[in-house]
Chain A
């Protein structure tokens, strides 16, 4: 029996957005009497029928706890949970599936590394390097750690062109650097950062690199070995999977030496009244009953993306991004943040209108069924560095079309006619 769901019907075919769209029930919804145009994919993506079915199938057919029982359901649930882990490992080309830890989300993965590896290895006078374009979840854990350890938190600057200032990496990442933590693709600027280069520099000085891949793994082929990432993390809900589950990849030897993050069931090998021995990887980092159903559904989301092929996904988004940049640039009063060259960015476009506040724009577009994100995008320092307090953001995924970008552009024009005179 297959509880992980069948492969998608796209295998062996060319990428066809109409076929993809038919798999997403929510795309047939009307919002304010208009067809939904969902352009908030950097926040979370929609889910295909296959993923939704995997969750209900699990609860209808397999529900049981993992790694414990000897009964059939428990064995099936354990098997499906571990098969999903192996799928994720293959998806990011992890050399061993024990290197894939299930967490709640990217934030938890980042916090896990800060609270375990970094807590053990960062001391007074050491430094931690992050970039100026991080999400709050890759800033605040390091601010807290730096304060606790009397360490220095350094930022690799970003220019107005939306690119990291790589000229200074040798002075910023130095012999006292213990960890470099950087986003692979900025959730605001869309910039694709040169993470392999950062990894290389980190390793030159004996530091480790942690990559926030929340905006990259869903959209492009990511190979943890090619990047030589020590740690890399992402969330399932930004890649067609459910909320409440994420991944931390770590090199086996690093994970093996790290203290546990949380304590409880499943993460121990043996407990006495006095002490406990930690379980082997990956279970040492998975205390308590895990999010079994959503892990399994994440495996199905990975199947779906692998069937589409990540190179096709990236190419589709590149085309949409180039088209959207062209059309938005042609509008009056629009300022777009991030690299001008679409080849240097993923499918995330943040912008402001010189006469319409992002929230007014967001409300007006919603009246036409168009969902965009407005606000600071959990990157307040970066947003402020552009001398604005909020921005609008459109972000794309496998089911988006040029027609939807046309709807966005005409929606902005309608909004302008409404507010500006």
Chain B
């Protein structure tokens, strides 16, 4: 597993949850610019912890051509949203939905195929959240919202 450059010292297994890539995306979230006339524009929130995100996407010819995710939340939900935004940009809707499915399976502790791992790349670092079950919802928040919205959009 990738180590965290900072080292958590007395904070025990914290590096398993907050890998360097997660802290990086938390501190410098990607794709936070609003999308012009988005085809998908939704808000997701987790009332339990108050995390909330606005997700905007442009979908053209069955591909996500632009994505913007902004909001506030814990390091896990923010980094997860940022990694998601980076992943979906330019992807076909089917690929996006398949990635969401792989991500869910990762968090459920299931074995991923080589191909799935390649697609997720750095996102696999979020797998550390499995050790902290109460935080799985934080990691899934934006993914579930985006997947539901995309499904609805495709059904139109």
Contacts and interface: CB of A to CB of B under 8 A. Distances in A.
A153 to B, nearest CB: 21
Contact of A367 (B12, B47, B52): B12
Contacts of A133: none
A414 B9 CA distance: 9
Interface bracket on B: 20 to 34
B49 A390 contact: yes
Contacts, number: 66
Contacts of B8: 367, 418
B44 interface: no
A419 B75 contact: yes
B13 interface: yes
B135 to A, nearest CB: 7
Contacts of B75: 357, 360, 419
10 contacts: A32-B12, A32-B13, A358-B49, A359-B76, A359-B135, A363-B135, A367-B12, A368-B11, A389-B50, A390-B50
Interface in A288-331: none
A418 to B, nearest CB: 6
Given A357-B73, A357-B74, A418-B6, A375 B50 contact: yes
Contacts of B61: none
B17 A388 contact: no
B49 A359 contact: yes
Nearest to B13: A367
Nearest to A31: B12
A380 interface: yes
Contact of A389 (B9, B18, B49, B76): B49
A360 B51 CA distance: 12
Contacts of A388: 50
Contact of A419 (B23, B48, B51, B72): B23
Contacts of A363: 14, 17, 132, 135
A376 B14 CA distance: 23
Interface of A: 32-34, 357-360, 363-364, 367-368, 374-376, 380, 383, 388-390, 414-415, 418-419, 421
Which residue, of A34, A358, A367, A421, has the highest number of chain B Cβ atoms within 10 A? A367
B59 interface: no
A418 B14 contact: yes
Contact of B49 (A33, A374, A419, A421): A374
A360 B12 contact: no
A389 B11 contact: no
Contacts of A360: 18, 74-76
Contacts of B11: 364, 367-368, 414-415, 418
A375 B13 CA distance: 22
A170 to B, nearest CB: 36
Interface in B1-26: 6, 8-14, 17-18, 23, 26
Contacts of B13: 32, 367
B138 interface: yes
Nearest to B52: A389
Interface string B42-57: 0000011111100000
Given A360-B75, A363-B17, A363-B132, A414 B50 contact: no
Closest 6 CB pairs of A and B: A389-B50, A367-B12, A357-B74, A390-B50, A359-B74, A367-B11
A419 B52 CA distance: 20
B62 to A, nearest CB: 35
Contacts of B50: 375-376, 383, 388-390
A383 B51 CA distance: 13
A397 to B, nearest CB: 23
Nearest to A415: B11
A361 B132 CA distance: 13
Nearest to B74: A357
Contacts of A380: 47
A154 B132 CA distance: 41
Given A34-B12, A359-B76, 11 more contacts: A32-B12, A357-B75, A359-B74, A360-B76, A363-B17, A367-B8, A368-B11, A375-B49, A389-B72, A418-B6, A419-B23
A367 B135 CA distance: 14
A174 B132 CA distance: 51
B14 to A, nearest CB: 5
B36 to A, nearest CB: 28
B46 to A, nearest CB: 9
Nearest to A419: B75
Contact of B138 (A34, A359, A383, A419): A359
A367 B49 contact: no
A252 to B, nearest CB: 41
Contacts of B10: 367-368, 414
A383 B49 CA distance: 11
B12 A33 contact: yes
A315 B7 CA distance: 41
Counting chain A CB atoms within 10 Å of each CB, which of B8, B17, B49, B138 scores highest? B49
Nearest to B48: A375
A55 to B, nearest CB: 28
Contacts of A364: 11, 14
